Amino acid sequence: MESSWPKLALLLLALASSASYVAAQNSPQDFLDPHNAARADVGVGPVTWDDTVAAYAQSYADSRRGDCQLVHSGGPYGENIYGGAGGGASWTAADAVAAWTAEKRFYHHDGNSCDEGQVCGHYTQVVWRDSTAVGCARVVCDSGDGLFIICNYNPPGNYVGRSPY
């Protein structure tokens, strides 16, 4: 009779490797790099990682773990959220920031406006010139089939009538 231990050991090793691969794609630098690339693209200075802001983001993300609903915190920082239930537990920091910055195509800096029926506020928060610090968090929802990603910005941006840069 053939032992299943070698196969089980390989499976566990593969699972551990994929978990560390996903974790490696959600480090502070993995959030900072795409933020700062978008900011550099429009001539805005970089944001830096802020542990206090990140702790706030982590606390709020932890509170959403049970229901995974995309609900804003209403806290003292600017905020972008991403994710939700439905099979996206492998979404990464880069996926979230890419979704937010993809709104650039709808934003018109000359008139500080967004195409009718479109959303631009996630993008404008990413590139808001007065925001100099960011802290982000990512949690897999208790259901296991989704996630919640949040980035908070200090100072906050997206003031009505003001251009982000």
Give the DSSP letter of residue 46: P
Structural domain of 88: 45-154
pLDDT, one tens digit per residue, over 11-26 is: 333 333 334 334 558 9
Once rounded to an integer, what is the mean pLDDT over residues 107-121?
97
- Are 103 and 115 in contact, with CB atoms under 8 Å apart? no
Could you give the angle at the alpha carbon of 44 between the alpha carbons of 41 and 46, nearest 5°?
Answer: 95
Let me know if residue 25 belongs to a domain.
Answer: no
> For residues 11 and 129, which has the higher predicted lDDT (pLDDT)?
129
Mean pLDDT confidence for 117-146: 96
Within-domain flag for 149 = yes
39-76 confidence digits (pLDDT tens): 999 999 999 999 999 999 999 999 999 998 999 999 99
* Structural domain contains residue 114: yes
Residue 78 lies in a domain: yes
pTM as predicted: 0.84
Tell me if 141 is assigned to some domain. yes
Q: Is residue 84 part of a domain?
A: yes
Residue 93 belongs to a domain with what CATH number? 3.40.33.10
